[in-house]
Amino acid sequence: MLKILLKKQLAGLMAGIVTNRRTGKRRSKGALIGYLVLLLFCGLMTMVSIAAMLYLFAQMLLQGDPQILTGSGQSGEEGTILTFSQILKNAEGYSILTGNIGKYPLIDWAGGIYFIIVGVFTAAIGLIGGMFSTYSILYCAKDNETLLAMPFKPSDILLSRMLSVYLLLLMYTLIVFIPGIVIFFIFVGFSILVLLKALAMYLMFTLLMLAISCLLGWLLEIVAAKLGGKKAVTVISIIVAMGVYLLFNLGRMKLMEALTGDLFGFDEKVKTFGYPLYAYARGSVNDTVSFLLFCVIALACAALTCFLLSRSFISLITSKKSFKKKVYVEKAARTRSVFTALFRRDLRLYLTNPMYLMNTALLSLLLAVAAVVLLFNYNQLHYFNAWASESSGEYLFPLLALPLVGLSASMITISSASISIEGKTLWLLQSFPVAGNQVLGSKMLLHMLFAGIPSLMMAVCMSIAFGFSVVVSIVISVSAVLFNLFVCCVGLTLEARNPKLDWVDESMAVKQNTNTLFSFFAGGGLALAMGGISMVLYLKFHVPGPALLAFQAVVTAGLAFWFTRVALRQWPRLTEIK
């Protein structure tokens, strides 16, 4: 029975490759080969990028100067400091440093820190993929109740699903483990014993990640049930992926600083606050005690997870947490204006559409975060502005402020997909007895709410950080809002003239919509043009800065109000679309 269930799970995993999910049809041989080549190419490129990062860490740790790592400054025969690769080839040199770091030789100690970094990367990728795989395969599979109605043991169903999740975990984490072990052997030389130990620790590490993924998947299932099921999971997955990506890029520099600073302190902190990761790293190199201890930890966690899930598996997969029982409560209906009702409808559509929300609101969030970051760097930016003012004039940065804010705001393309996202429900808007300026005005307000406010924050924080005068700050802030109005109305005009309504997936209305591209080009082109013209007139022809600021404000205001009128006149074209 278990063998049959495993075959079924493997067939389900392969179905995503063999079958086109959009059309539901089986791929032809040529399409299948092309798809596999594309997957292989993406995997190899990911492995190459990870290998490049690990190479930098390995170069710092495994081929660094012993003086940097130990402070001892031992030298070789020619008076130069030995690198680790030279130490490994020189038995006498290796014996010099043996025992300097507690009971570990220096190369084993540095190798342990290297495998800590590999373990962090592996856990980051494995836990994200494992959490969502566990959620979809273990807790929310569509055929759970069907299998329970057949003569299958619940334990066999659970084991087959956990094994399929484990296989996916291996696929996810191999893109880190393979470059990690290859880079390690490039610097320290190949050893079959180290390879076997590292492979065994990798398998134990993935078992530990499987146990943690089951817990995270269960928590995700609870959160998704409270927030609305599949769409909530999509939003959470995008937020988690982008959050990890940002933390990874920010944390990479912090990690580099820690490695170039107090390595001993870094090692002790990992040992104190993340002992399983510390034991995994030491066991992968040359510590038998850590090797055995980590195996015990991983096997115990995996066994405990299997035991707990087997005791509650039936209740977990048969409970309908995502279906809320609605109870009718009598209450008085509130009347709202037509414009308020339309805006609430657009806002609800925006906030409940994962692809639409994440492709636009995320940029708004990043713009707001960037504005706060500017305030934290007030002293440096204020000094930099004072230094630039002495050499190029006091209006250099004020003239660049609006183009920079406008270039960022032009990437927020909410309005340029606001009609396309309606799809087949556009006829509802066409049948409403409302004026066209009210329909398009509600979409305009939605864009200004999520794009205009972050841009205003950016302009204000930039003015404070660089120390602009009050008048200049007000001009830049008002111009930033008007620039968003211009981008918004360009998008609405394009949408009313040529909306993309024949989409199959909602992402096509946002990502494959040429209106968003043209809207970005219009906003970005205007920002770059104003910035370039202002810089040339200011630096080359010495036109006064206040006159150029007024020029930017007038151009922005004129284009914004002109396109506002153009956009609000497009309702007849919208009603003609069938």
Residues 349 and 280 in one domain: no
Q: Which domain holds residue 497?
A: 338-576
pLDDT at 34 over 80: yes
Residues 274 and 354 in one domain: no
Residues 183 and 260 in one domain: yes
Q: Return d(Cα 574, Cα 117) in angstroms, integer.
A: 55
pLDDT at 484 over 80: yes
Residues 209 and 262 in one domain: yes
pLDDT tens digits for range 144-180: 777 777 877 877 888 888 888 888 899 889 988 999 9
Q: What is the pLDDT averaged over residues 319-339?
A: 69
Highest mean pLDDT among 67-76, 264-273, 417-426: 417-426
Residues 129 and 209 in one domain: yes
Q: What is the pLDDT of residue 489?
A: 93
Give pTM, 2 decimals. Answer: 0.62
pLDDT at 480 over 90: yes
Residues 471 and 533 in one domain: yes
Tokens of 332: 């008085």
pLDDT at 456 over 90: yes
* Residue 145 within any structural domain of the chain: yes
Residues 463 and 567 in one domain: yes
Task: Please tell me the total count of domains within the chain.
Answer: 2
* Residue 22 within any structural domain of the chain: no
Residues 168 and 210 in one domain: yes
Q: Return d(Cα 361, Cα 368) in angstroms, integer.
A: 11
Tokens of 2: 């278990």
Choose among 9, 247, 222: nearest CA to 125.
247
Q: Return d(Cα 88, Cα 80) in angstroms, integer.
A: 16
Residues 253 and 342 in one domain: no
Per-residue HEC secondary structure of 316-337 comes to HHHCCCCCCCCCCCCCCCCCCC
Residues 346 and 267 in one domain: no
Neighbouring CB atoms inside 10 A of 421's CB total 25
Name the average pLDDT for the chain: 79
What are the C-alpha distances in Å from 169 to residues 115, 155, 201, 336?
19, 21, 15, 51
Residues 280 and 228 in one domain: yes
